[in-house]
Amino acid sequence: MKVAVLKETAPGERRVAVVPAGVPALAKEGLTVAVESGAGTAAGFSDDDYRSAGATIATRDEALAADVVLAVRTCGAAGDCWPADRDHLRPGTVLVGLCDPLSSTDACREAADRGATVFALELVPRITRAQSMDVLSSQANIAGYRAVIVAAAALPRILPMMTTAAGTLTPAKVLVLGAGVAGLQAIATAKRLGAQVSGYDVRPAVKEQVQSLGAKFVELPLETVGSEAAGGYAKAMGEEFYAKQRELLGKVVADSDIVICTALIPGQNAPVLVTADMVRRMRPGSVIVDLAAERGGNCEGSKPDETVVVDGVTILGPTNLPADVPFHTSQLYSKNIVTFLTHLVKAGLPDMSPDDEICRDTLVARGGELLHPKVRERAGLPPLAPVTPAQP
């Protein structure tokens, strides 16, 4: 079975799906590995590095003709670059990567129409044996770190307290909204830089995690029963809840020098946590980094990949912070995707058992059909009829 690693073509995407160190692990499973020329250049890995690891170098057309095609971004996650690759797909091609399956169902359907088998890494279940395949967590870790670095660079003051002969400088106040993987890493990074850090999350269960990092947990008098969905993700709440939340958060936001917004609901628009009025109440020079900008934003007024200044407050809306540090994020992503593909091979790729939770939950399309229940629902398709076991 031939596996190919694509060069990313989406604007600003500098990561690569597999780094040279991942090639021997794939070869060990009996796979022949080809890498599109220049695929790793932006991340710091040359074609010679891949050759030394045992891979061959291929053109894009040759890579897309492989049995299994590995990418960071494919289908809807590749944006305007998807049609060019879509038109080269052939029946039976296995696509593995970030696909944006719950928001870009049309692209997934187009892949299905061409007979491709599609696995979306966003859908890796949050179970113990799949932790080493969890792309969202590995990349969110880096996004949380980078969010604080970007905010610190934009803030016209330093983060730590300093006592000098010229006087004492007070620490900056950092508020992190959302205590998932990105939020907790942002808290840890801001704390390491010496800031006075607070964290808020709708899920009271994460209070201990926030406090374990040395931050203060912001507690609001809200009814939070049912705020956590399956897999540990935050669950969407009603507008009445969010309105009360914004009212109570206003004072905390106004007293912060930096606000890092990380609250996302899988497959849905991000909840608005910071209103325009709350922004106006912040001190001039304050900075907001909205990691949810691509999904509508946690902060009113944030724009994807733009810097907006409102009454002296800088609002940043980065959409792909992991690509800022592609050397390390590619290493993490590579470990995730190599482990995932190894699992698929051991499960019988291309004919995996539907009883395997990892295979079942990540399989979006196969045999000309969209198979994933949630993707079908978003695409407006009826549920598939249950498979009837064969009679002896």
Render pLDDT for 254-292 as a digit per residue (tens, 0 to 9): 999 999 999 988 778 898 999 999 999 999 999 999 999
The H-or-E segment that residue 49 falls in is: helix 47-53
- Contact by Cβ (8 Å): 57, 82: no
Catalytic residue from among 126, 157, 281, 360: 126
108 lies in the same domain as 154: no
Check residue 290 and give its pLDDT.
98
Answer whether residue 83 shows pLDDT above 80.
yes
271 lies in the same domain as 255: yes
Answer whether residue 226 shows pLDDT above 60.
no
Distances (CA, A) of 260 to 196, 263, 274, 297, 321: 13, 9, 11, 12, 13
Answer whether residue 136 shows pLDDT above 80.
yes
175 lies in the same domain as 193: yes
Alpha carbon distance 281, 343 (integer Å): 51
Alpha carbon distance 177, 252 (integer Å): 11
Is 6 part of any domain?
Answer: yes
Q: Where are the beta strands (DSSP E) in the chain?
A: 2-5, 32-36, 56-58, 68-73, 94-98, 117-120, 162-164, 167-169, 173-177, 196-200, 216-217, 258-261, 287-290, 307-310, 313-316, 363-366, 369-370
Check residue 204 and give its pLDDT.
84
pLDDT digits (tens, 9 = 90+) for 9-25: 999 999 999 999 999 99
165 lies in the same domain as 129: no
- DSSP annotation of 299 reads B
Q: Count up the domains in the chain and report the number.
A: 2
182 lies in the same domain as 114: no
Query: Per-residue confidence at 351, pLDDT binned at 50, 70, 90?
Result: confident
Catalytic residue from among 47, 85, 100, 134: 134
176 lies in the same domain as 284: yes
Is 109 part of any domain?
Answer: yes
Catalytic residue from among 233, 255, 356, 360: 233
Is 391 part of any domain?
Answer: no
Is 390 part of any domain?
Answer: no
Q: What percent of the chain has pLDDT over 70?
A: 94
Residue ending a domain, choose from 308, 324, 340: 324
- CATH number, residue 228: 3.40.50.720
339 lies in the same domain as 256: no
Residues 6+ apart with CB under 8 A from 45: 16, 19, 20, 330
Query: Per-residue confidence at 390, pLDDT binned at 50, 70, 90?
Result: very low
Alpha carbon distance 119, 363 (integer Å): 5
Catalytic residue from among 137, 157, 227, 356: 137
Contacts of 222-230 with C-beta under 8 Å, sequence gap 24+, read 222/248, 227/202, 227/203, 228/203
34: domain range? 2-133+325-378
126 has catalytic annotation: yes
55 lies in the same domain as 148: no
Is 168 part of any domain?
Answer: yes
Answer whether residue 183 shows pLDDT above 90.
yes
Is 388 part of any domain?
Answer: no
SS3 of 14-29: the string is: CCCCCCHHHHHHHHHC
| Cβ neighbours of 153 (radius 10 Å) | 9
Catalytic residue from among 131, 211, 212, 268: 131
Is 392 part of any domain?
Answer: no
Residues 6+ apart with CB under 8 A from 162: 168, 169
83 lies in the same domain as 222: no
167 lies in the same domain as 311: yes
265 lies in the same domain as 364: no
Is 69 part of any domain?
Answer: yes
Residue ending a domain, choose from 324, 350, 366: 324
233 has catalytic annotation: yes
Q: Mean pLDDT lowest for which of 128-132, 246-250, 362-366?
A: 246-250
Indicate the average pLDDT of the chain: 93
**Between 37 and 392, where is the model more confident?**
37
134 has catalytic annotation: yes
Residues 6+ apart with CB under 8 A from 65: 4, 88, 90
155 lies in the same domain as 74: no
Report phi then psi at 3, rounded to 5. Answer: -115, 135
137 has catalytic annotation: yes
